[in-house]
Amino acid sequence: MVAMKTKEALTEAGAKDFVEGGLPEGKSAAILWSSALKGFGLRLRKGGAASWVVYYRPSGVGRRESARTVTLGAYGKVALRDASIAARKIFGRIADDQDPAAQRREERTRERRRLDKALDGYEHALIRRKIVGPKPIMSTLRRGLAPLMAREVDKLGRADIVKRIDGLEAKGLPGAANDLRKHSRSFLEWAVGQGLAPFNVMAGLRRPRASRAERLEEERAGQALSDEEIKALWMSCDALGALGGLIRLGLVTGLRRAELASLRWTRILDERIVIEAHGAKTGVRHEVPVTPAARAVLTRAPRDTSGLVFPGRGGAAMSGWTQLMAKAVRTSGVDFRLHDLRRTVRTLMSRLGVAEDVAELAIGHVRKGLVGLYNRDEAWAARVDAFGRVSAHIAGIVASTEHLKGAAEGEAGTVVSLPAARRA
C-alpha cells in the first residue's frame, strides 16, 4: 500500500524530514506531494530509496486509465529546484497531448533493439538457459555482424545478413559462414519473442542446394579413419602444437571438438576426464576413463596460466578451425575432419568386440525412450574396458612413437591415474 502525504509546499528541509522520518508502519511507499505543482512529489520506498516523480493521466482519458509515472531522478542526486523545472517541462508536454511515460518506454525499447544491446540480452538468455557453448555462439555473431552493431534489430533486412554470410564463403570459410547463418537465425527468433522485431528475416533461409561437386565432397564426410590413416595422423601431431594434442586425445576418447577445446585441467580427476552437463552437447554429464594412451597424451601437454589443456593463441580457447584443419590435413596427408576422430573411436569399439549399448554410452550418447528413463546403470567398468581396447589398439598401431611405448602392452580395461602434478 502507498501512503499519500498531505500536499504542502515542498522545501529541501521538508523533503529531508520526510525521508529521514521513514515510512508509516505497514506501508511499502509514501509520497510527499507538492501543493504548488499538482502531480509532482517525492516518493519514498521501502529500504529508504527516494526519488522525484510526476504522476499524470494522458490528456482526454480521464479516470478510465491508471495514472502514469515519470521518475525525474533520485533524491540526493537531483536537487528540488532541478526536479521542479523538469516536472514543469513534463507537464508542458502533457498539455501538448504527448505521453512522456510512453515515450520513455519507447526510448528504452529502442535502446534494447540496437543490435549490440540485443546481443548482450541474447547472451544472458543463453547463459540463463544453460545452452552449451554460449561463448563461441556469441563470438560468431559479434564478429560476423560487427558492421551492423549500431542498427536496430527490427531494421535489419535479410540482405544485410546474407551479405555477411556470402563474404565468409568468398573468403573460403564455409564453416564460419554456416555458423553465422545458423546462429543469426536463432538469435532473430529470440528477438521476435522478446518483441524487438516483428518477424524473423532469416526464417526459412537454408544453405543453397549443393552442387554436384559439393555433393561429391560431402560424401567424404562421416568416415572412420583406417589404421594407416590413424598412424599417419598420429605421427604428424608433434608438428601441430596444441592442435596435435587435441587430435590425439580425440582419437583415444571420442570427445567432441567443443569438449576438447574447452577441456580444463580441473576436469581431469585422477582416473577420469569429466565433461560437466553444461559443457556437453547432450546436456548430460559425461565421463571418460584415462587409459594408457590418453595418459601419454595428457602428460605431454604443457600447462599455461589459461587452465586449458589445449589453449589457442594468447591462452584463449582454440578457434579458427578452418585454417587449423587445413594445416592438419596438409601436415598429415590425411583428408579428415575432427568429427571423424569420434567416428573412428566408435567404429573401433565395434571392431574390437564392444557391445553396442556400451559403445554408445562410452562416446556420450544418451539412452532414448523408456530404456533411458528406467536404465540408470552407467556401465562404468564396461566403458573402461571399451576405451582400454581402443587405447591398446591405437598404441599398437603407433608403438614406434616414443611416448606410447608400453601403452600397447596395457591390458584392456586399464585405467591410469595421472601423476600428482597433473591432477586437479
Give the CATH number, domain containing residue 47. Answer: 3.30.160.390
CATH number at residue 398: 1.10.443.10
C-alpha cell, 403: 611416448
pLDDT value at position 422?
43
Residues 148 and 241 in one domain: no
Q: Provide mean pLDDT across the span 299-305.
A: 90
Location of C-alpha cell 559479434:
142
- Domain boundary residue, one of 202, 236, 260: 202
Q: Tell me: the pLDDT tens digits for 175-213?
A: 889 899 999 999 999 999 998 889 999 887 766 655 555
The count of structural domains within the chain is 3
Q: Which of 104, 137, 159 finishes a domain? A: 104
The answer to the question of residue 390 being in a domain is yes
Q: Are 29 and 45 in contact (CB under 8 A)?
A: yes
Residue 62 lies in a domain: yes
Average pLDDT, the chain: 84
CATH assignment at residue 196: 1.10.150.130
Q: Is residue 218 part of a domain?
A: no
Condensed to tens digits (0 to 9), the pLDDT of residues 50-60 reads 999 888 877 66
Structure confidence by residue, pLDDT tens digits, 96-113: 788 777 767 766 667 778
In the predicted structure, residue 374 carries a pLDDT above the cut 70: no
Residue 98 shares a structural domain with residue 121: no
Q: Is the same domain home to 308 and 329?
A: yes
Has residue 80 been placed in a domain?
Answer: yes
Examine the domain organization and report whether 118 and 94 are in the same domain.
no
Same domain for 279 and 155, yes or no, is no
pLDDT of residue 366 exceeding 90: no
Instruction: Give which of 196, 319, 177 is closest to 257, Cα–Cα.
Output: 319
100 and 141 inside one domain: no
pLDDT of residue 368: 67
Domain co-membership, 291 together with 324: yes
207 located within any domain: no
The percent of residues above 70 in pLDDT, for the chain, comes to 82
Q: Which residue among 104, 125, 144 closes a domain?
A: 104
Asked if residue 144 and residue 236 are part of one domain, the reply reads no
Give the span between the Cα atoms of 123 and 134, in whole angstroms.
7
Q: Per residue, what are the HEC states of 281-324?
A: CCCCCEEEECCHHHHHHHHHCCCCCCCECCCCHHHCCCCCHHHH
Range of the domain at 318: 227-422
Judged by DSSP in three states, 414 sits in coil
Confidence of residue 313 (pLDDT cuts 50, 70, 90): confident
Q: Is 326 helix (H, G, I), strand (E, B) or coil?
A: helix
Instruction: Give the pLDDT mean for 365-394.
Output: 79
Answer yes or no: do 59 and 170 share one domain.
no
The Cα–Cα gap between 289 and 330 comes to: 31
List pLDDT tens digits, range 315-335. Answer: 888 888 889 999 999 999 999
Q: Among 112-126, 150-164, 409-423, where is mean pLDDT lowest?
A: 409-423
Highest mean pLDDT among 214-223, 303-312, 343-352, 396-405: 343-352
How large is the average pLDDT for residues 374-380? 68
Kindly state the average pLDDT of the residues 378-385. 90
Same domain, 381 and 239: yes
Is there a single domain that holds both residue 100 and residue 118?
no
**400 within some domain:** yes
**According to the model, what pLDDT value does residue 102 have?**
73
pLDDT of residue 224 exceeding 80: yes
CB atoms under 10 Å from CB of 116, counted, come to 13
Same domain, 130 and 75: no
pTM of the model: 0.57
